[in-house]
Amino acid sequence: MIRVESVCKSFRTRSAPKREFAGKSGGSRTAIDAVRDVSFECKPGRVFALLGPNGAGKTTLLRILATLLTPGAGRVWVDGIDAVARPEAARAHSGFLTGSSGLYDRLSGRETLSYFGSLNGMDRDEILVRTAELAQSLGFESYLDRRVGRYSTGMKQKLSIARTVLHDPQVILFDEPTSGLDVIGAKAIMDWIRRSRDQGKTVLFSTHRMDEVALIAQDLAIIHEGSLCYNGTLDGFMQVYPGRSLEQAFLDAVGQPSGLEDPS
Amino acid sequence: MRSLRIIFLKDLMDTLRDRRALIVSVLMPILLFPLLMLILVGVQTRLQETDSERTLRLGIVHHGNAQDWVNGLRNRKGISIVDGFGVTDITGKLDRDEVDAVVLMSRDYDEMHRSDTGTAFISLYYRGGRKLWVRDRISDDLDKLRNQLQDARYSALGISRDQLKVVEWSSVDLSSVREILGMVGGGFVPYFFVLIAFVGCMQPAVDLGVGEKERGSMETLLCAPVGKLSILGGKFFVVACFGLMSALLSVVSLFASVQMVSWFFPDAMPAMIMDTLWDLLRPGVILLIIALLIPICAVFGSVMLCLSMVSNSFKEAQSLMSPLLLVVIVPVAIGLQPGLDIGYRTLMIPFLNVTLITKAIIAGSATVGQILTCFGSMGALAIGSLLICRLVLNRETVWLRNT
């Protein structure tokens, strides 16, 4: 279970100088709100989709849930643990698949899993059993002992998923898990998410793809310019925009013309 | 502590598999000294051969004087006499490289040396910047000529050379050979080892800091239930170990190279240089230098890792680290100056103290107090830079890309 209450996050950034050719020091530091007063809840045994255009604040929000970033305000609970007060404990109960595969090219798949298993406090036997289990279910047994640098994008993504769920976390966070994957790779990931949901895990994933949302999500939040435009069930969202496709409804929600309106 | 050990072992294995790091931190320090020694041996051998084999083209403007001496030189093997030109042509002849040197005798040369009181003058013209060997080749002949003529005059006056020695003064240098070697060669030891340790730390620091940020593996690592201090500690130890390993390998390489030269080219290098090198390689000296390298590598490890982490790209990290080399090398180079006193004040200045204490260790004049002061100063700098590194890396945005 994930609970997010009134979370805000801003970054200090250097604004553009007012005068042209003012040089690098011409700008002043300003705060940009990446996430503004966001609240939602993800329940176990359900898949929660986080939708939003580029730069909406999806990754920042996921990084806050994964305790990589501390919120400026608000509270976050991951599997009942206060993630702001006890980030390491929260990380032990969650797995985060980051936007990039984030693997070590010079290690083999087995060494990668052994490394992250050790960091998660698993003993050698546990790691061996879990590695074999995940390699079989995700279908990468044959290249487990090959160096990651020689993996294809799809192979890397499978290993990343295995790395994410190796310690069998109750909460799983995916940041655009199918990005860059072919249809077969994407299907394998979707199947895995569905399986995790069926095992009673709390799954939250961010995506651009409406078909994936329609396929596996039960709950949905739409984030735009750091604020939530919608938070509820997928069915509920479709009722707000009757007669619209999910894509059209999404564009309406973020205030963009869908291009399907009658020009008159 | 467990997490730190796991991260350290993994990063060590990962870096040992990095071809670039292996070339810079392992292969280069191993090959540096054998290559340097081979080049030195080659150059020395060539210089010795060419200097003795080279024919000296000696111009003489003698105005008809000292015919016997000139004829003697003319018949000498290895000397080719060029004469028949005047004083005004001397510079031109040397500039056009028609001669290597010119001996100019005063017009009254014969007259003066035949008289009882007059002084005959001889000047040697040469271009030392181009041909330093020329002076050595002809100076013996000129000294011999002077002594011969002086003795003839003493004999004509009925006195001996010793009768004219009213006062003789001499200087006695009580420095041991080791002290002199320490002053001459000692300064270069830290210069080399500090440089090698610096280069050895650089590649792992860039790879484990900004490299991991760029590849996204830092974000993955931060998802594990370990503290940032453990991550930082694990990486710091790998970077410092690589610096230390590079320096140690170069010590082994230096030892092997000197041994190699002693075995295979015993006469190639001047004895003075070989003695200096063997004196530098005494076990006590080596152990103290290695001990000194520990705080040096700790400083490099923390500062470089910090610079690497605050950078946004490999290129930025390298451009931030390059000026650091100047900060390190300038005090080390200042310490190379002869006559710079070793005192507790100078021993407090980081890196300058490394040069000064190494010179003193090699010379055998370092006291326990001086060694401890140097260690204290470098240790304090290492701890300080680690604390600053931790402070800088407290900013969460430093750890992630695109924040």
> Whole domain around residue A227: which residue ranges?
2-9+33-102+169-253
- B131/A213 Cα distance (integer angstroms): 84
Instruction: Find residues 34-93 of chain A whose CB sits inside 8 Å of chain B.
Output: 59-60, 63, 66, 68-70, 88-89, 91-92
Would residue A191 count as lying in a domain?
yes
Q: Which residues of chain A does B17 touch, with a Cβ-Cβ cutoff of 8 Å?
A: 106
Task: Tell me how far apart the alpha carbons of residues A44 and A37 are, in angstroms, rounded to a whole number.
Answer: 23
Of B14, B222, B226, the CB nearest to A68: B222
d(CA B370, CA B375): 9
In the stretch 106-135 of chain A, residues with CB closer than 8 A to chain B read: 106-107, 111, 115-116, 118-121
- Who contacts B203 (Cβ-Cβ below 8 Å, separation ≥6)? B18, B20, B21, B24, B25, B242
DSSP state of A108: B
Rounded Cα distance, B26 and B30, in Å: 6
ipTM above threshold 0.95: no
**Structural domain count of chain A:** 1
Q: Do A95 and B220 touch (CB under 8 A)?
A: no
Judge: A102–B10 Cβ closer than 8 Å, yes or no. no
Q: Which residues of chain A have pLDDT under 70?
A: 14-28, 256-264
CB atoms within 10 A of CB B113: 19
Take residue A161 and report the two structure tokens written for it. 């998923």
Q: Using a CB-CB distance cutoff of 8 angstroms, which residues of chain A are in contact with residue B6?
A: 115, 118-119
Interchain pair B6, A115: CB under 8 A:
yes
Q: Which of B6, B17, B227 sits opposite A88 (nearest CB)?
A: B227
Cβ neighbours of B403 in A, within 8 Å: 11, 60, 63, 69
Q: Nearest C-alpha of chain A: how many angstroms from B235?
A: 15
Asked if A100 lies within 8 A of B216 by C-beta distance, the reply is yes
Among B18, B216, B226, beta carbon nearest to A102 = B216
**Are the beta carbons of B18 and A106 separated by less than 8 Å?**
yes
pLDDT of residue A22: 42
* pLDDT for A48: 94
Alpha carbons A244 and A251: distance in angstroms, whole number:
10
Beta bridge partners of A252: none
Tokens (6 digits) for B210: 């900004």
The answer to whether residue A76 sits within a structural domain is yes
What is the pLDDT at residue A23?
Answer: 45
d(CA B25, CA A206): 42
Buried b (16+ CB within 10 A) or exposed e, A91-119: bbbbbbbbbbbbbbbbbbbbbbbbbbbbb
CA distance A40 to A76: 10
- Within a domain: residue A25? no
**Residue B306: exposure state from Cβ atoms within 10 A (0-12, 13-18, ≥19):** buried
Measuring CA to CA, how many Å separate B19 from each of B23, B207, B295, B324? 6, 12, 27, 24
Q: Which helix (H) or strand (E) holds A251?
A: helix A246-253
Residue A202, in any domain of the structure = yes
Who among A89, A111, A120 is closest to B224 (CB)?
Answer: A120
Model pLDDT, residue B402 = 60
Interface A-B: count of C-beta contacts within 8 A? 77
Ramachandran area for residue B58 (φ above 0: left; ψ -120 to 50: alpha; else beta): beta
What region, left, alpha or beta, does residue B55 occupy, with left being phi > 0 and alpha being psi -120 to 50 degrees? beta
Non-local CB neighbours of B141 within 8 Å, separated by 6+ positions: B73
| B225–A92 C-beta distance less than 8 A | yes
Q: Do A115 and B3 lie within an 8 Å CB cutoff?
A: no
Nearest chain B residue to A116 by CA: give it. B224
Cα A207 from Cα A191, distance rounded (Å): 16
Best residue in B220, B226, B230, B402 for a mutation probing chain A (most A CBs within 10 Å): B220
Whether A195 is covered by a domain: the verdict is yes
Cβ–Cβ gap A102/B226 under 8 Å: no
Residue of chain A minimizing CA distance to B10: A115
**For B8, which residue in chain A has the nearest alpha carbon?**
A115
Interchain contact, A96 vs B3, CB within 8 Å: no
Distance of CA B197 to the CA centre of its chain: 16
How many angstroms separate the CA atoms of A161 and A177, rounded? 9
**Chain B residues with CB inside 8 Å of A94's CB?**
223
Contact list, B14 vs chain A (CB under 8 Å): 104, 106-107
Cβ of B400 within 8 Å of Cβ of A69? The answer is: yes
**Per-residue pLDDT, A77:** 94
- At A62, which CATH number? 3.40.50.300
Instruction: Answer whether B223 sits within 8 Å of A96, measured CB to CB.
Output: yes
Sketch out chain B's domains with CATH numbers.
2-45+177-399 (no CATH), 55-164 (3.40.1710.10)
Looking at residue A218, its pLDDT comes to 92
Closest-CA distance, A260 to chain B, in angstroms, reads 34
Q: For strand A227-233 and strand B56-61, is the pairing parallel, antiparallel, or unpaired?
A: unpaired
Q: What's the rounded Cα separation, in Å, for the pair A39 and A7?
A: 7
**Which of A13, A14, A106, A179 is the best residue to mutate to test the B interface, defined by the most B CB atoms within 10 Å of its own CB?**
A106
B208 to chain A, closest Cα gap in Å: 11
| Chain A residues near residue B228 by CB distance under 8 angstroms | none
Searching chain A, which residue's CA lies closest to the CA of residue B1?
Answer: A119
C-beta atoms of A119 and B225 within 8 A: yes
> CA–CA distance from A107 to each of A110, B118, B315 (Å)?
8, 88, 24
The set of residues, in sequence order, having a beta carbon less than 8 Å from that of B122 and lying 6+ positions away, is B103, B104, B105, B106, B109, B142, B145, B146
Does the global pTM surpass 0.90? no
Residue A225, token pair as written in the block: 């310019």
CA–CA separation, B401 vs B318, rounded Å?
17
pLDDT tens across the length of chain B (403 residues): 788 899 999 898 888 888 888 888 888 888 888 888 788 777 777 766 666 677 888 999 988 888 888 888 888 888 888 888 888 899 998 888 889 899 998 888 888 877 777 888 899 998 877 666 788 788 888 888 888 888 888 888 888 878 877 888 888 877 666 666 666 666 677 778 888 899 899 999 999 999 998 888 888 998 899 988 899 899 999 999 999 999 889 888 888 888 887 787 777 666 766 776 777 677 877 888 888 888 889 999 989 998 998 888 888 888 888 888 888 888 888 887 776 777 888 888 888 888 888 888 877 778 889 889 988 998 898 888 888 888 887 788 788 766 5
Q: φ and ψ at A184, to 5 degrees?
A: -65, -45
Say how many C-beta atoms besides its own lie within 10 A of residue B39's C-beta: 10
Q: Is residue A211 part of a domain?
A: yes
